[in-house]
Structure 1
Amino acid sequence: MQRPIYLDNHATTPLDERVLEAMLPYFRESFGNPASVGHFYGWEAEAAVKMARSAIAAGINADPAEIVFTSGATEANNLAIKGIAEAYHQRGRHLITVQTEHNAVLDPCRYLESLGFAVTYLPVQPDGLIDLQVLEQALRDDTILVSVMMANNEIGVLQPIAAIAKICRDRQIIFHTDASQAIGKVPINVQTMQIDLMSLTAHKVYGPKGIGALYVRRSPSRIAIAPQMHGGGHERGMRSGTIYVPQIVGFAKAIELAIASQIPEQQKSLELRQHLWQRLKTLDNIQLNGHPTQRLAGNLNISFSGIKGAALMLALQPIVAISTGAACSSAQTKPSHVLTALGHSPELAHASIRFGIGRFNTLAEIGQVADQIINILPSLQRHL
């Protein structure tokens, strides 16, 4: 059976063959534990982790000592948000985030509210961007952390991270960004962007699942993080647990490949996205969600008024793999909190589809998907 065309690259990406090739030796002959510092196998593994840490740090202009490995962006977000709250609660108990954040940020914030912290959830404008004046007005004397994601996982909107970080730095407030969707797709320089904490993951950038990292700034002043996992003092005491060497090696290789080909790869994704949008925007009752240009090159999120997104997905299932939103909530019946934050009604939010274009997609595939949607949509609209 022919497999569907894969256009759900915001949920996850296929593992690049070059990444797999880099990982394989560390599953087999180079299987040592980096913490085993008394023999060759441990030294070999330790050297591989050191090289990987340096490669990931170089990709974001950080120091290798500022990279803390985690199981993924969800853990990195939890470590950043809960770790800051615990470490700085005597300075203040107020945090700020955005209504359109991933649940890996929203849920830790809600948890902290249950412990007595105050959290402000900033609204977004109809295009998905926050208003910087609204952010400034929300800051308080007891604000200890602002967390704003770099690229939205549903609508692809790119927030003005450098401007947000400057506002925070000027007020001596710690700034965290979830960059799991942005890494390898847009230029990131933690120094010039004045980022204090940044969450990353490998599987959104053609690397393995189950590995991520948290960037924790050490200079000009060190950020303190209270560990959320104890039991060995790994990662300089910030995240205990045996280091998964093959995953870390694959993570670094994925970042290296993505950054090396970032400009041509993103230009190709943009061209494919524009081609799909040009084909589809001629349809009746169709609406683009999110800022038209300040978004990830491979992201297209569309509302098809008068139908349910799930019905369109089902009709297209043999042809294309797509999503109505975040992978972790795609099975839920509630409308997307991201789209309702844009001002969409629950009905319009339910009528939305996210197309995630990636490295291995082709123009022929995009044309085939557009043809199928144009052919199927009228019959779906007639039956509703």
Structure 2
Amino acid sequence: MARPILRLATRFTRRTRATAWAIAFACMVLVGAISLADGLANGVGSVANRIGSGPAVYIQGDELLASAIDSAALSIVPGDFVAMRAHAASLEINRLTLSVFVVALESYHDGIGTIAFPAGPRNVSLDVGLRKQIEAESGMPVAASGNVSLFGLHLTDLPILAPPPTRSELFPDNWAYVRADLLIAMNATQGGPVQAILATGPLDPAVVASLRLTRLETLGAIGFVRGSIAEVQSSLMLLALVIAAVIGLLVYAAMSLEVHARAREIATLRSLGASPAAVAGVYEAQAVVLALAGAILGSALGIVAAHAVVSFAPILGLPNLVILSPPTAAVLLALLISGVAAVLAGLVPSRRAAVLVRAKGADPS
């Protein structure tokens, strides 16, 4: 009796194989989506940790270019910090006219400001990204001199220098750097005020209040992205419930059709002495094996799909912030919902198989 029962339990038909592939596809979507969401959360967290260790930025008002901090009041700010002046300007170089940000940095120590770069009073330093843009658009090396239009003035034949030796991680690489005294000489009213203060840590609240400063929250956007990712992860848990219901329906339909198609075979086994419990156990086990096989295959495909998405993102020109980690929780979740759904969905078909009557006239011996 054991051999016919074993043959019945291990025989998978085209219908059950198709069901296993459908379960595999559902689990692939679940595991792949959870892996990408968790990887994006890891990537955003890594970026936040790097930015969080950077300087604190203070401005007046809500916009950097509209900020105007009185430079005469900077002497009351304790500790070391950098005063930044930033203005939109027009740069003429290599027969190109580009809109650029002209920035001047002044380092303060114990209330005294010093300007170390650029060295010359009329020098203009172009950062790496801006130089690459100029070379790409003009098709020639960056010229040794250029013209700058700012504050309604047009300065010609300004010496062009190499990129600054150091740059804050908060700054983009397409700025042009000049001396602060050049901006003041061009227009004391517009070039004198400071647009931002960069400190290694939070400033004294009393100083912040007296200068009417507002801390520029560099982590605000990342916090918003984190919240959005958390919402996506919560939605994926709802997706897991939907997939569990789909797996249950697939298993129920497949096993019900199997029981109907094998009614004579089951009746013959009953006639040969197979107990209702043995027949029910066979179909219940087959439902679970069917679901778990699909879940294992789908989990493997989901991991491969997630890595493929991460690998092809740079090729398509998309930013890649995803840091994948072994999706242990996602795989366990897929196996759990598949197993539970199969157990519940297989109860009714296995019960139907168990109550099939023996073939008429059969001898149990």
Bucket of the pairwise TM-score, normalised by the shorter protein: under 0.3
Q: Which has the higher helix share?
A: 2
CA radius of gyration, larger in: 2
- The normalised TM-score by structure 2 is 0.23
Structure 1 length-normalised TM = 0.23
